Amino acid sequence: MLLVLSVLCLAFKAHASQISLHGTTTVAYGGEANFNCMLANPTGVLQVTWQRGLRPESLENMATYNKPVGEQINEPFKGKVILSNSSLSSSSITLKNVTWADENCYVCSFNVYPDGSKRKQICLKVEGELVRSLHFKMSETIKKEELSCSATGKPAPEISWNTSKLKYTDAPPTTVINSDGSITTSSNITVQVPTDWTGHVYCVVNQGLLGQRLTKCCFSSGNVSQNALIIAVVAIIICVTVVAAVLVHKRSNEQQSAES
């Protein structure tokens, strides 16, 4: 049995060694991944197939090329996969708008008569972050600003804050693993805002690392109730002025009518 397995492994390596497969191994979220495959001896090749999957029994067919049909993209990969430079000895594909769901191994397979399939694989890793949200709300009584920031990425994003030297309290960050393998990190802080202070607070994702991102929150403090009261008083004054002007104009018209 061991001898049979050894022979099969040697045969697979021999087939794979005839194929040259190059391309992207690490890509940023939202970017493109490119793969190019070539077979040294195309004798007997009937079709070139691009597949993806971690195990031979679970491979998905993405795209094919053969002379009778030409290049063909299978559902649901239309719009995701672009097939180009295809012949029975070479083929290239491009993955558009890569997400974490595209992190997988990609297989270039040549269907050769009468030998069967010759294949080789390359694996793709997806990295990157997306700042999901930044929320804030002012407390009317104790003049504190409650801020929340979350980011999704792979590996897990690290969140820090730049509060322009304002004092704040924070809670331990939380992480959630999503169905596509990405990780969402959330952070919450409460900032003590001095009266009449105007400035910025920044949510910083992956500070000091490649791909660092900033999201700015602008706000003015002051007494929220007082500001609302001032606005209401101004609105009342304007309304009273308008009504008085209308009454004066109406009375003037009545007097002119009486005199005439």
Task: Dump pLDDT digits (tens) for 90-112.
Answer: 999 999 999 888 999 999 999 99
**Domain presence at residue 231:** no
Q: Is residue 256 part of a domain?
A: no
CATH number for 193: 2.60.40.10
State the pLDDT at residue 143. 64
- Tokens representing 259 are 């005199």
What are the tens digits of pLDDT across the range 225-243? 445 555 666 677 777 676 6
The number of distinct structural domains making up the chain is 2
In a domain, residue 144? The reply is yes
Cα end-to-end span (Å), the chain:
124
Predicted confidence (pLDDT) per residue in 139-169, tens digit:
554 467 788 888 888 888 889 898 888 888 8
* Residues 37, 146 within the same domain: no
Question: What are the CA-CA distances from residue 222 to residues 142, 167, 194, 231, 234 (Å)?
Answer: 11, 16, 8, 14, 18
pLDDT for the residue numbered 258:
63
Confidence of residue 259 (pLDDT cuts 50, 70, 90): low
Whether 119 and 10 map to the same domain: the answer is yes
Query: In this structure, are 57 and 151 located in the same domain?
Result: no
User: Residue 96: its pLDDT value, please?
Assistant: 96
pTM comes to 0.61
Which of 105, 123, 141 is a domain's end point?
A: 123
User: Tell me: the pLDDT tens digits for 210-221?
Assistant: 667 888 776 554
pLDDT at 149: 87
Domain termination residue (choose one: 88, 123, 158): 123
The better pLDDT of the pair 3, 105 is held by 105
Can you tell me the mean pLDDT for 249-253? 67
Q: Across all residues in the chain, what is the average pLDDT? A: 80
- What's the pLDDT score for residue 244? 67
Looking at the fold, whether 30 and 141 belong to one and the same domain comes out as: no
- Domain membership of residue 193 as a residue range: 129-224
In a domain, 83, yes or no: yes
Closest CA to 38 of 22, 24, 53, 26: 22
Domain edge (last residue) among 123, 142, 166: 123
Query: HSE on the CB side for 106, CA within 13 Å?
Result: 27
d(CA 164, CA 131): 21
